[in-house]
A = this chain, B = another copy of it.
């Protein structure tokens, strides 16, 4: 519980039996449960056993709340509509950690004015998650606009020389904005977790 939060369970490679066992243990210990990258059919089995849980299909997350964790404010920003599943994974993770989340979606650099109009909303958060595929330029644009830490999540959205997200990953790692740090490709969970962690005030930790 080093984060005042249990280790999150990666659902994708586990069997239903393994998942039922793990979730039962956590529930017994009165801990919050978060299962990520969970396929719909396995989610049904978890919901049947734990009717208080919730499954978010777009984000592919199963969540069973226990207690009330507290964190600060997080903004989740996306370039296009195809990035939304990864962004929602970030949103739900940050919320599960107790953060208040503002969604700022579909503000990619090819239409920079949409982003400029939303600047205040992002700046008023304690940390921003920026989710973008293709050339990943949004992370630098947001980093240059606001004075808070930006957690960049490259996505595999695109085709051809995007190499499954490598183009966006490189753009983010090479960002000329100094307030940008980077997560793995499609790692919405990581982005939401890290931003929520930053957002906690000392009292909250």
Contacts and interface: CB of A to CB of B under 8 A. Distances in A.
Interface in A80-114: 80-82, 108-112
Contact residues on A (Cβ < 8 Å of other chain), bracket: 35 or more
Contacts of A159: 184-187
Contacts of A48: none
B161 A137 contact: no
A51 interface: no
A62 interface: no
A136 to B, nearest CB: 7
Contact of A194 (B112, B170, B178, B202): B178
A161 B169 contact: yes
Interface in A136-179: 136-137, 139-141, 143-149, 151, 154, 156-179
